[in-house]
Amino acid sequence: MRQPFITARGKKHVSRNLLVQVALSNGTTGIGEASASLAWKTETLAVMTRCVTAVAAQWRSRPVAEAWAVIGHAWDAPWASPAALSALECALATAEAQANGRPLWRALAGRLGMTRARPRRIMTSLTISAWPREIAARAAGRAAHQGFRQLKVKVTGRDPDEDLARVLLVHQAAPAATLLVDANQGFSARGALAFARAIRLLKLPVVLFEQPVPADDLDGLRALTRDAGIPIAVDESLRSARDARRLIQRRAAHCFNVKLAKSGLLGTLEITRLARRAHLTLMLGCMAESAVGLAPSVHLACGTGLFTYVDLDSHLLVRGPRATAFQTRGPRLWVNAS
């Protein structure tokens, strides 16, 4: 990590990632990347490696369509690693798109029925970790100078006064930026409601309050969605289409933060369909992938234009290889049309 990454779930200085390459018989290759996460500590490098190895053993010499079916079954296996299976899906989708002579963004838009899509330029937010308030403010000032118009501020819930001071100083350092506040499950429902009221009292430009309570507290999410006065986004509560249906039924969110690394490529597309039908807004996020692993998410965002909030900044947070499958300048991300 370029700087320590601090959330309510802990601190990390290094992201242990797994690079996955899929090769088709015609020589076409695709790459995916699985990233370990503070949110799911069971997603270790060893676990991800065993998952990839188990799937690869069933893949060899099989048609691409059968390979997709193998992955589909693997999601239900006891040894399944969502990050690893997502990396396999992304690698396979990239190789398949290249074999068909199509850019990845077009292939992904096509899976959503958007046959006439054109790639868009998008703007990503930048994450401000739960650093001491002065350090967070300096980072926000630098981000504003670089052109970032939206900042995601991490809060922990352990010291709400310090959290509020961090959000306030970030706003003062970048007054033109809108803010996403991400608690990573750090608050109780009552504490989150009080924190939301304090944000409103200070008239801070917070447009989303993300995952304020533990992932399984659907009652708390429902109450906050109803009463907080700030749109509520879910992340850790949303890993599958089954979760999406439950959250929609309970009216427990205004916005879904979808990530390829937790739901897979096909799972993310299905959650996207469900959210659109329910008239929820969408955010596309990431873990700690390098630019290599972030590329499929960038192609999805640029190719569909369906995501109101784009939080694809991991290439700016980790020291990894430079982007080759997409272009970047400050907060701007784009892909080649062909």
Give residue 61's pLDDT.
83
90 assigned to some structural domain: yes
DSSP character for 93?
H
**208 shares its domain with 290:** yes
Cβ–Cβ < 8 Å for 262, 83: yes
Give residue 4's pLDDT.
81
Angle, helices 189-201 vs 218-227, to 10°: value is 20
Could you give the 3-state DSSP secondary structure of residue 207?
strand
What is the reported pTM?
0.94
* β-bridge partners, 19: 33
CA 185 to chain centre: 16
Six token digits for residue 295: 């590329």
Domain boundary among 43, 68, 101: 101
* β-bridge partners, 309: 283
**143 shares its domain with 80:** no
Give residue 100's pLDDT.
94
Give which of 288, 283, 292 is closest to 328, Cα–Cα: 292
**296 shares its domain with 166:** yes
316 assigned to some structural domain: yes
Six token digits for residue 151: 């900042």
Cβ–Cβ < 8 Å for 272, 306: yes
> Residue 158 maps to which CATH number?
3.20.20.120
Report the chain's terminal Cα–Cα distance, integer Å.
32
From the CA atom positions of the chain, what is the Rg in Å?
19
Per the structure, the count of domains in the chain is 2
Q: Which domain holds residue 19?
A: 5-101
Could you give the 3-state DSSP secondary structure of residue 114?
coil
**Integer angstrom CA distances of residue 72 from 39, 108, 266, 267, 333:** 23, 17, 9, 10, 30
71 assigned to some structural domain: yes
**Per-residue model confidence as pLDDT tens for the chain (338 residues):** 888 887 877 788 888 899 999 999 999 999 999 998 766 778 889 999 999 999 999 988 889 999 999 999 999 999 999 999 999 999 999 999 999 999 999 999 999 999 888 999 999 999 999 999 999 999 999 999 999 999 999 999 999 999 999 999 999 999 999 999 999 999 999 999 999 999 999 999 999 999 999 999 999 999 999 999 999 999 999 999 999 999 999 999 999 999 999 999 999 999 999 999 999 999 999 999 999 999 999 999 999 999 999 999 999 999 888 878 999 999 999 998 87
**94 shares its domain with 50:** yes
Rounded to the nearest 10°, the torsion over CA 171, 172, 177, 182 is -20
116 assigned to some structural domain: no
Burial of residue 171 (CB within 10 Å: 0-12, 13-18, 19+) is: buried
